[in-house]
Amino acid sequence: MTATAHALVGGAIAYSIQNPILGVTLAFASHPLLDFIPHWDFGWGWRNKSKLKLFTEASLDLAVGIALSYFLFGQYVNFYYYVACLFGAVLWDLLEIPYWFFGWRFFPFSTLHSIQHHIQGKAKLPWGILTQVVTVAVIVFMLQIFR
C-alpha cells in the first residue's frame, strides 16, 4: 500500500479507538495486513529508480498521507496519540529506508525487507489504486461503526 493509505488507516484508528495501547498496536499490525491486499505502490521497481526519484516519490506520498490523515482524523484526537498511531502504521516502510538508501543488507533491515517483499499483494494501475481506495474506505467505515 502507499504511505497515504497506511497513514489514513493509522489516523482512522486513532480517531476510532479510545484505548492508546490497543490503538497503537492495531495501527502497527494494520500495515502488514493491508500489504497482503493486491495494490500498487511507489516503492515497486525501486532498484530501477534513482535514489532522488525514490526519495521524492516516497516523501510526497508520506506528506500527502499525513496531511489527509490529519485533516480527516488527527485534529479531533490527542495529537501525541494520533502521531503514535500514524507512526505505528507507517513504521514498517520507514524501517526499509536503510535497506533501500544505504545498502544496509543486515538484520533487522534485510529481514524486514524480505518480509515486506513476500507479503506484498501486487496489482497494476489503475486497479492497484482502486483496491487501496476501497480498502481504506471499508476500514474507515468499519471503524466508525465500532466507535
Task: Identify whether the C-beta of residue 30 lies closer than 8 Å to the C-beta of residue 135.
Answer: no
Question: What's 122's DSSP letter?
Answer: B
- List the one residue out of 13, 4, 3 whose CA is nearest residue 82: 13
Task: Identify whether the C-beta of residue 110 lies closer than 8 Å to the C-beta of residue 9.
Answer: no
| Residue labelled with grid coordinates 495529537 | 79
Distance CA 49, CA 113 (A): 17
128 to 26, 47, 76, 101, 135: CA distances (angstroms): 23, 20, 30, 25, 11
- List the one residue out of 138, 136, 147 whose CA is nearest residue 69: 136
Per-residue pLDDT at 54: 92
pLDDT in tens, the chain (147 residues): 999 999 999 999 999 999 999 999 999 999 999 999 999 998 777 778 899 999 999 999 999 999 999 999 999 999 999 999 999 999 999 999 999 899 999 999 999 999 998 999 999 999 999 999 999 999 999 999 988
Per-residue pLDDT at 46: 76
3-class secondary-structure state, position 27: helix
Look at the chain and report how many structural domains it folds into.
Answer: 1
Which residues span the domain enclosing 21?
A: 3-145
Residue 46: how many other CB atoms lie within 10 Å: 17
Per-residue pLDDT at 47: 78
pTM of the model: 0.95
Question: What's 77's DSSP letter?
Answer: S
